[in-house]
Structure 1
């Protein structure tokens, strides 16, 4: 891989790190055998590049591996240079002999520098996590408020318990109402998240209109997905939502621990877990100048796929419930006739 391709890969989060070997490394190390005797040695440098934007743990692992590889390579080259020093090597100064034994210097640099308020490459993950959690919590609130507005449940406001007259609505209608409200609420919540993260906490961010649009869509998709699970599974649906959007999503997000270091089951989940897709899109906007192939396109596509799957599953199952007569309020049964006394 040449230097240009390496920088492009680092600039898209495709690499956790890299080891740069200068083009004149061989000639520079060979020249040390003569330079050591003349007293003008020029030590070649192997450069280790890190990439915290691709993941802090992954970048740390890459730095450790490449640094060790560079140091081992320098020692191996030193073993080959030592015989070339000839019999005069014993007369060389101690510093020259040490130089020949370990001829290459190892320098560590940031291959894709981030701004100072980027949380060492973790702001994209935490921002995406906030979007998903906001979508979940909003869905939970909307579900309860819609049920109250339709008269299916009570609504406690401090010491007061409010109840509205029953408005019969099918499960499909209820899900449609909740999803519409979720889409509208996501406009407000996405704005509040951006104001809190950028305005109050000072997070570094560019492409603000795109970030706002992506944030709103991420909240809407997460919320509608959560509403679907609540509509299909009922009260246990919140446990399913927590498992899908948090429990299985955080380890597979790829923002902290690299996917390559996870078991196969988690790598499989990472292909469709929403948090990973949203994190990839946010990372592209925040760190990689909103490049399409740095995770942004995948984020948009997977959100569209997730929304479509949620709609098909949610309306399909609730429609089936309605057709089977599994209404939320069972049909009233006629009271049994009592026998008249003789």
Structure 2
């Protein structure tokens, strides 16, 4: 039975979390096979009913997580039923009991799964994948918008300097941040119009709450991209694409449960803003903002102790803290880099002026 369960998951391409294989291989841990089935033979007062094991599923976690978990859980129930059936059939054969069709049917499958959705989602939720889809769109929009703003402002600064008009790196960074905010407000509105207006994606929190969170997340994503571009030039945009989009797509938990990912991706997920954007959107769309969705763990718990970091499950506010921390951190580092470059530029100007006078 365990081979059938694991084989079925492999055929579906579903990852199996660490430690789950051991549970599947021996789900009953010998308890059923060692049970003593005894008693005198005699007619049953009524046909027995199979035992029911309730299997709780959470579709709001997304199809990538809910489907493998349901398959594993129902597979374990099937294994328990098979072991129980084998023991009961052996006991009946030893006693020479004559089984009616009704009794034989129950003994053939004595334990059955009763699948219940603990947090059902509607038909317009993309099988629970709407938070991931929106979050990934936010991340990608932030990357594209941040790159566009970086080049537009840089080009405008070059044209001004060509006219002998001085510009400061600090001023340019301020302009980039303001444009990033305006861009995020527009993009968040467009995303909500498509998601809620055209596609009818279901949501429990108000539209205003979702809009503000999307705007915050888009601003943070654009600011991080602009920061890397300011620090490393155009190559910084590629760095942002790798760290936030490519690795983020794998480590976010949207395509596969975090518990099923390799240790590297699990550790990286704790530092990844996309993961917390997904947590926040899942809370807003399915739990009215009350889900204990985000966690401050590992490095974040240690480095953000001043933000009230804690190891226990946190609520939507912590997802906001995490995304906000990225925004504030990117803005602050951008100003520091700009200030340092402005200082170096001021030191170079007197030297340039002296050389020009000497040449004259």
Deviation at residue 248 of structure 1 after TM alignment: 1.4
SS in 1 for 2:49: coil
SS in 1 for 2:195: helix
Q: Work out whether residues 148 and 164 of structure 1, in 8 Å CA contact, stay in contact via their aligned partners in 2.
A: no
Deviation at residue 84 of structure 1 after TM alignment: 5.8
Q: Distance in 1 between matches of 2:104 and 2:71?
A: 27
Q: Distance in 1 between matches of 2:72 and 2:63?
A: 14
Q: Distance in 2 between matches of 1:328 and 1:267?
A: 47
The aligned counterpart of 1:209 is 208
Structure 1 residues 273 and 87: alpha-carbon distance in aligned structure 2, compared to 1, 3 A threshold: closer
Aligned with 1:192 (options 190, 193, 199): 190
SS in 1 for 2:113: strand
The aligned counterpart of 2:254 is 255
TM-score (ref. length: structure 1): 0.77
The aligned counterpart of 2:321 is 301
**1:321 corresponds to 2:328:** no
Aligned 1:209-248 pairs, distance under 5 A? 209-248=208-247
Deviation digits for residues 195-240 of structure 1, max 9, x if unmatched? 1111122212232111011011111111111111111111211111
Q: Work out whether residues 251 and 266 of structure 1, in 8 Å CA contact, stay in contact via their aligned partners in 2.
A: yes
**1:43 corresponds to 2:42:** no
**1:183 corresponds to 2:201:** no
Structure 1 residues 263 and 331: alpha-carbon distance in aligned structure 2, compared to 1, 3 A threshold: farther
SS in 2 for 1:119: coil
Q: Distance in 2 between matches of 1:299 and 1:331?
A: 49
Q: Work out whether residues 33 and 85 of structure 1, in 8 Å CA contact, stay in contact via their aligned partners in 2.
A: no
Q: Distance in 2 between matches of 1:317 and 1:33?
A: 86
Aligned residue-pair number:
300
Structure 1 residues 170 and 66: alpha-carbon distance in aligned structure 2, compared to 1, 3 A threshold: same
Deviation at residue 121 of structure 1 after TM alignment: 0.8
TM-score (ref. length: structure 2): 0.74
Structure 1 residues 101 and 327: alpha-carbon distance in aligned structure 2, compared to 1, 3 A threshold: farther
Deviation at residue 337 of structure 1 after TM alignment: 5.6
The aligned counterpart of 1:285 is 284
Q: Which has more helix, going by share of residues?
A: 2
Q: Work out whether residues 53 and 121 of structure 1, in 8 Å CA contact, stay in contact via their aligned partners in 2.
A: yes
